[in-house]
């Protein structure tokens, strides 16, 4: 049977005083969600929180009621509802006008990972020592890379790399990318906002995840701390998920998971911990290529 350990950490970074990222994990449902909000006067924080809460509520509430609906359709509908909620809220409250959010949602179900995303928040997979980006950014710079006008190295250095072409809440409808891939034992998954991958390279992510794969707490803090050591120009959020093979039973379609907020929740097999850092904690990471 399949079990999951999920660790989430969100940090404001070293420059910004507010944190407009939001994260949510429900390992008993095989669910993780990460959002990066945008908009002034704390509107980005509102947008990302609405996105995460709407998606988690819909996916947990509909397990028992919609047994025949595929996980792919569930994620699409959940993200569509999140988009509508943010859009409607922005139009009803003047102070939230123009707010929006990226989203990346991971649902582990029936031996598959189903990932849905909008914007430039990412999902990575570490499998047998190889890191692979499982999502493609919805950004101006990514479109230029796809057209062969920029290399990946040039894209990382571009001042316009954070201009997204899709976001939740901007329009009444949004185009959602959803994909399903098979799971393998001991896969390690990383969801992150661009506050991480803008300043921490894939090589450094691979190094940290490989060195600390047996301790997701350490890996999460090392990733965030390294981003802060490199300036921390943006909010930084990560969710790490280790997929393992074990004996206990994982909830199947038709079983109703708990919807109680699971901060620092510990069970014998499925485990989640979510941490929100108000100011960067001292946790030094070697920044010279050493583990």
Per-position DSSP letters for the chain, written without gaps between them: -EEEEEEEEEE-TTT-SS--EEEEEEGGGTEEEEEEEE-TTTHHHHHHHHHHHHHHHHHHHHHHHTTTS-HHHHHHHHHHHHHHHHHHHHHH-GGGTT-EE-EEEEEEETTEEEEEEESS-EEEEEETTEEEE-S---BHHHHHHHTTSS-HHHHHH-TTTT-BS--BTSSSS---EEEEEE--TT-EEEEE-HHHHTTS-HHHHHHHHHHTTT-HHHHHHHHHHHHHHTT--S-EEEEEEEEEE-SSPPPPTTPPPP-S--SSEE-SSSEEEEEE-SS--------SS--
- What's the pLDDT score for residue 195? 96
- What's the pLDDT score for residue 140? 82
CATH superfamily of 2-276: PPM-type phosphatase domain (3.60.40.10)
- What's the pLDDT score for residue 263? 41
The domain limits of the chain are: 2-276
Per residue of the chain (291 residues), give pLDDT as tens: 467 899 999 999 999 999 999 999 999 889 999 999 998 767 999 999 999 999 999 999 887 565 678 999 999 999 999 999 999 999 999 999 999 999 999 999 889 999 999 999 999 999 999 999 999 999 887 777 777 776 777 666 665 667 899 999 999 999 999 999 999 988 999 999 999 999 999 999 999 999 999 999 999 999 999 999 999 999 999 999 997 655 434 444 444 444 333 344 433 345 457 667 654 444 445 555 554
Predicted TM-score (pTM) of this structure:
0.84
């Amino acid at each position: 049977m399949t079990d999951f350990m999920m660790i989430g950490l969100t940090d404001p970074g070293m420059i910004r005083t507010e944190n407009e990222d939001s994260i949510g994990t429900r390992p008993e449902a095989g669910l993780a969600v990460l959002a990066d909000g945008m908009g002034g006067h704390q509107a980005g924080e509102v947008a990302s929180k609405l996105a995460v809460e709407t998606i988690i509520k819909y996916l947990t509430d509909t397990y028992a009621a919609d047994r025949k609906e595929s996980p792919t359709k569930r994620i699409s509908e959940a993200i569509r509802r999140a988009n509508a909620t943010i859009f409607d809220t922005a139009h009803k409250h003047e102070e939230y006008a123009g707010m929006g959010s990226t989203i990346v949602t991971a649902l582990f179900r029936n031996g598959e990972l189903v990932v849905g995303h909008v914007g430039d928040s990412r999902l990575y997979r570490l499998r047998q020592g190889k890191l692979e980006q499982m999502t493609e950014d919805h950004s101006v710079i990514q479109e230029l890379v796809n057209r062969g006008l920029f290399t990946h190295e040039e894209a990382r250095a571009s001042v316009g790399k954070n201009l997204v072409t899709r976001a939740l809440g901007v329009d009444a409808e949004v185009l959602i990318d959803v994909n399903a891939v098979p799971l393998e034992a001991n896969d390690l998954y990383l969801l992150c906002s661009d506050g991480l991958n803008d300043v921490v390279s894939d090589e450094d992510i691979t190094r940290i995840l490989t060195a600390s794969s047996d301790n997701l707490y350490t890996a999460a803090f090392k990733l965030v701390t390294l981003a802060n050591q490199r300036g921390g120009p943006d909010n930084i959020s990560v969710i790490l998920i280790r997929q393992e093979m074990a004996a206990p039973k994982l909830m199947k379609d038709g079983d109703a998971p708990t919807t109680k907020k699971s901060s620092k929740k510990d069970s014998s097999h499925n485990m989640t911990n979510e941490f929100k850092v108000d100011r960067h904690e001292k946790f030094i990471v070697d920044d010279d290529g050493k583990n």
